[in-house]
Structure 1
Amino acid sequence: MILINNVTKKFGTNIILENINLKLQEGNIYGFVGKNGSGKTILFKMIAGFMAPTNGEIKVYNKIIGKDVDFPTSCGIIIESPGFINNLSGYKNLKLLSDINKTISEDEIRKYMNFFGLDPYDKKKVKNYSLGMKQKLGLIQALMEDPKILILDEPMNALEEETVIKVRELLKKIKKEKIILLSSHNKEDIDLLCDRIYHVKDRHINICNESAE
């Protein structure tokens, strides 16, 4: 469970989010909609431990982010442009990441790459990847270790329709034991996937609906 308790985020005198309270539970896909700059990405970064709230606290599975732990455990993240080592291939990038926790085999990495239409044996360096290929690689690194939490900020960017459909089906399939946070400017993604939708506007987060079904 993720508990967001009276969280405010300021930059100088500029208040981005104010007194946010949310309870996010397993088995749900939560959609966050709003204009660019409304605070969606800031919220995601605070939950991921990339940024600290000005006031309030965020608890992930009873651990306060920034106090009990620096980052939530078992969390897959794609926020903004995925960062990889440009002079390595896609497979080598994923292998390096997998070596940190050692929870996924080389065969499993290859299966994920094949699922997303990337050739694990391709020697092409990531710096020569298209935007769509980089986005696929970012999704693989977020998903491949089967995390309890997925934080997906505009995950469908630059993806062809065939891959978008596959990602939607995958998220529906795996959501049962996960907390999935999703932001997208594509209304269809939000409507088809999300159990609960929040509107981020004027420093506040308000619920739009209980279910997209």
Structure 2
Amino acid sequence: MSLKISGLTKKFGEQIALDGINITISNNEIIGLLGPNGAGKSTLMKSITGVLKIDEGEILLDDKNITENDIESKKKIGFLPENNPLYNEMFVKEYLQFVANLHHIRKERVEEVIGLVGITPEKSKKILQLSKGYKQRVGLAQAILHEPDLLILDEPTNGLDPNQIVEIRNVIKEIGKEKTVILSTHIMQEVEALCSRVILIHQGKILQDSPISEFKGKFGSLEEAFQSYTG
């Protein structure tokens, strides 16, 4: 899997959300996407997935422009947005089977993913009956169901208890051995536990794109480095 972003710019009226973003990803790795609220992280992720129209620049997935090859590109991408939209009136397994049918995936894969994200005891419940933590798991399940080459996760452990956080981190770590994962989070411990590389975005620009050890540099912690870079 290769992802190349060149000169990506996105505006909302007079506000510049992304300002000439350049990123190249060529290896299977877990990348931490960091930045303060309003930095442009969600806009970047939605641009990569094709949810938002690009104003300037281009995004190439496996050397193909995602705008010109939108259906083919989306087949290779899994996305868990921050608000985790789900069909609350559907049963868990019913919903995941619905998603599987859209992707023309074998039925056995649904049970595999249910077990992988740890929702087997909840699979016969309606989604509206689930806790926030289990809803996050269902969202993660739909994102990985079609075995995407690129997985984009926006605050994936939001609302989970400490045990659930560890379990979901372990799932992400396993996925990252074979796939590329872009992970947006405000939890620095999560970045240290999972990521080999950090992309720091602030005011629509990339301030730092480096291995996590280099990002941390002379600072005592990732929190200190983050505060120093973003002011």
Per the normalisation by structure 2, the TM-score is 0.84
- SS in structure 2 of the partner of residue 81 of structure 1: coil
Give the whole-Å Cα distance in 2 for the aligned partners of 1:173 and 1:123.
26
| Aligned partner of 2:93 among 67, 91, 94 | 91
Q: Which moved more, 1:115-124 or 1:44-53?
A: 115-124
Alpha-carbon distance, 1:124 to partner = 2.3
Alpha-carbon distance, 1:72 to partner = 3.1
| Aligned partner of 1:79 among 54, 78, 81 | 81
Give the whole-Å Cα distance in 1 for the aligned partners of 2:62 and 2:18.
23
Alpha-carbon distance, 1:120 to partner = 5.9
Q: Does 1:37 align with 2:38?
A: yes
Which residue type is aligned with residue 202 of structure 1?
A: Q
Q: Which structure 2 segments of 5+ residues have no match?
A: 215-231
Q: Which moved more, 1:46-55 or 1:141-150?
A: 141-150
How many aligned positions are there?
212
Contact 1:26 1:177 in 2 (8 A): no
Contact 1:28 1:180 in 2 (8 A): yes
1:51-90 → structure 2 map (5 Å cutoff)? 51-70=52-71, 71-90=73-92
Contact 2:133 2:164 in 1 (8 A): no
Query: Match for residue 171 of structure 1?
Result: 172
Give the whole-Å Cα distance in 2 for the aligned partners of 1:86 and 1:5.
38
Q: Which structure 1 segments of 5+ residues have no match?
A: none
Per-residue CA deviations over 1:147-189 (Å, capped at 9, x if unaligned) read 1110001001112222221222232223233221000111111
Contact 2:38 2:203 in 1 (8 A): no
- SS in structure 2 of the partner of residue 59 of structure 1: strand
Query: Match for residue 134 of structure 1?
Result: 135
Give the whole-Å Cα distance in 2 for the aligned partners of 1:61 and 1:151.
16
Contact 1:104 1:145 in 2 (8 A): no
Give the whole-Å Cα distance in 2 for the aligned partners of 1:126 and 1:86.
5
Per-residue CA deviations over 1:119-139 (Å, capped at 9, x if unaligned) read 367532112222111111001
1:99-110 → structure 2 map (5 Å cutoff)? 99-106=101-108, 108-110=109-111
- Identity across matched positions, percent: 31
Change in Cα spacing, 1:20 to 1:185, as seen in structure 2 (3 Å) is same
Alpha-carbon distance, 1:208 to partner = 5.3
Change in Cα spacing, 1:208 to 1:67, as seen in structure 2 (3 Å) is closer
- SS in structure 2 of the partner of residue 6 of structure 1: strand
Give the whole-Å Cα distance in 2 for the aligned partners of 1:119 and 1:174.
19
